[in-house]
Amino acid sequence: MNYLPHTTEDRNDMLAACGVEDISDFFAIIPEKKRFPTLDLPEPLSEMEVLRELKELAESNADAEHHPCFLGAGAYHHYVPALVNHMLLRGEFLTAYTPYQPEVSQGTLQTMFEYQSMICALTGMEVANASHYDGATSAAEAVIMALKHFRGHRTKIVLSPTLHPQYSQVIYTYTQGMGIKTLAVNEPPDELDNLNTHIDEQTALVIMQYPNFLGELEDIENVAKASHDNGALLCVVTNPIAMGMLKPPGEYGADIVVGEGQPLGIPMSYGGPYLGFFATRQKLVRQMSGRLVGETLDVNGKPSYALTLTPREQHIRRDKATSNICTNQGLMATAAAIYLSVLGKQGLREVAELCFHKAHYASDCIDTLPGYSVRRERPFFLEFVLRCPAPVSEINAILFDDYGIIGGYDLGQDHDDLKNHMLLAVTEMNTRDDIDALVEALGAIK
């Protein structure tokens, strides 16, 4: 059926139905001087001239390919094997959308299935979806899953004080107006043991991060025990690269494991698109949001793949939907699957060990500088907290302007107790010369 008014009579009937006489009446609420702003556009350019101008703009950006970068805090500069982008540019991957018709989408479905399987292996979980928009979205969906699981009988969510602050913000956005109590434990980072005292019989979910926002490794087992003793679920936010050498959260008792998949073959790209991975226990699968690909047999007895338990209201009755998550990050999930398959178990471990050892080499060198000291209250993976003798913003400005180095993250933006503290990230992409240059620059700053 065509709803567009093709004739003047149809148009007048539509306007009359809306209670107006002219289309301009719809815009009466907008101040007249703001309705039709004059656009001061430059003269048109040829394609060649436009391309030249865009290149000049791009070259004015400070990117990690041309500057040593020690900025992390959720997005990391890792090496992306050439095969990842080569495979992603194949038409069947690049243009594929949701595989609603399994008979013509077996390649896409198998890729998602392999991605899910590798995420389960990384996290120690039993089932994973494919997938969410980013790590923060995955954490928010974990909250929704927990609330659905307890059917409204538990309405308290406990967030660790060292959870990524942007994750906390997204969770608040998701849950505002739902009548639940979201408690961000406001304890100094040195008093994380107090987290357990906030878990009670009204708690549906506890969320902690491993490694945490400060790069440190906390005691998951202790929090898992406190959560389960009170009947609550535990969600762990993790870095997938760290899983190359650390014990997965599933083996510590986590019920849900989520995180940002950007380190798995996805460039930083000025903040996106990214990939939120989500894995959980089999007992919670019917409350899981996102798409789940299952393996089965076709009529000829051959292995085949199909979407199953897709919870969006498009597929089942709206009152039964577990989430309104729509488009999955299929291309990003494909990139992660290619990256993990190219590196393999041993390759991922080597990347993790490189990050670990380079970060500790950097911390040991910087720790010898007068005025600087590294927080060593807990072990860390590839990020560490550096106490600085001056405001971090000033140090970063000098690092970049005088030495061409992209410094660390200013933790004072998020934690009052961490004023003049910098979060430094070191990955396999930082050479020894890069690290030595950073140490020399920090030592030279007066």
Strand pairing partners for 258? Answer: 237, 278
- Assess whether 320 and 356 both reside in one domain: no
- Assess whether 332 and 392 both reside in one domain: no
**Which domain covers residue 420, as residue numbers?**
344-444
Q: Which amino acid type is present at position 426?
A: V
CB within 8 A of 242, min separation 6: which ones? 210, 211, 352, 381, 382
DSSP character string of 87-104: HHTSHHHHS------GGG
Does 176 map to a domain?
yes
| CA separation, residue 186 to residues 36, 159, 161 (Å) | 48, 9, 6
pLDDT tens sequence across 376-431: 999 999 999 999 999 999 999 999 999 999 999 999 999 989 999 999 999 999 99
Tokens of 198: 């906030």
- Assess whether 302 and 377 both reside in one domain: no
- Assess whether 350 and 308 both reside in one domain: no
Contact 279, 131 (CB under 8 A): no
- Assess whether 333 and 262 both reside in one domain: yes
Question: Which residue from 280, 237, 263, 283 is spatially nearest to 382, judged by alpha carbons?
Answer: 263
pLDDT tens sequence across 92-106: 888 877 787 888 889
**Which segments within 346-416 are labelled E, that is strand?**
373-374, 383-387, 409-410
DSSP character string of 127-140: EE-S-BSSHHHHHH
How many helices and strands (H and E) does the chain possess? 12, 13
3 state SS of 157: strand
What is the Cα–Cα distance from 379 to 350, expressed in whole angstroms? 19
Q: What's the CATH code of the domain at 386?
A: 3.90.1150.10
Q: Which amino acid type is present at position 189?
A: P
Provide the pLDDT for residue 7.
72
Contact 166, 75 (CB under 8 A): no
| CA separation, residue 150 to residues 143, 203, 204, 324 (Å) | 11, 10, 7, 19
3 state SS of 195: helix
Strand pairing partners for 373? Answer: 387
Where helices occur in 150-187 by DSSP H, the ranges are 165-175
Does 24 map to a domain?
no
- Assess whether 352 and 378 both reside in one domain: yes
CA angle 107, 135, 379 (to 5 degrees): 120
What is the Cα–Cα distance from 429 to 314, expressed in whole angstroms? 43
Provide the pLDDT for residue 1.
40
- Assess whether 330 and 351 both reside in one domain: no
What is the Cα–Cα distance from 276 to 282, expressed in whole angstroms? 19
Contact 178, 208 (CB under 8 A): no
Strand pairing partners for 205? Answer: 157, 233
What is the Cα–Cα distance from 395 to 417, expressed in whole angstroms? 19
Tell me how many domains the chain contains.
2
Whole-prediction pTM: 0.87
Given 305, 340, 375, the domain boundary residue is 340
C-alpha radius of gyration, the chain, whole number: 25
Given 340, 365, 397, the domain boundary residue is 340
Q: Which amino acid type is present at position 427?
A: T
Tokens of 267: 């460039």
Beta-carbon count within 10 A of 91 CB: 7
Does 425 map to a domain?
yes
Per-residue pLDDT of the chain (446 residues; tens, 9 = 90+): 444 555 777 788 888 888 888 888 888 888 887 777 677 888 999 999 999 999 999 888 889 999 999 999 999 999 999 999 999 988 888 887 778 788 888 999 999 999 999 999 999 999 999 989 999 999 999 999 999 999 989 999 999 999 999 999 999 998 888 888 877 776 555 555 678 889 999 999 999 999 999 999 999 999 999 999 999 999 999 999 999 999 999 999 999 999 999 999 999 998 889 999 999 999 999 888 888 899 999 999 999 999 887 655 455 556 667 776 766 688 999 999 999 999 999 999 999 999 999 999 999 999 999 999 999 999 999 999 999 999 999 999 999 999 999 999 999 999 989 999 999 999 999 999 999 999 999 999 97
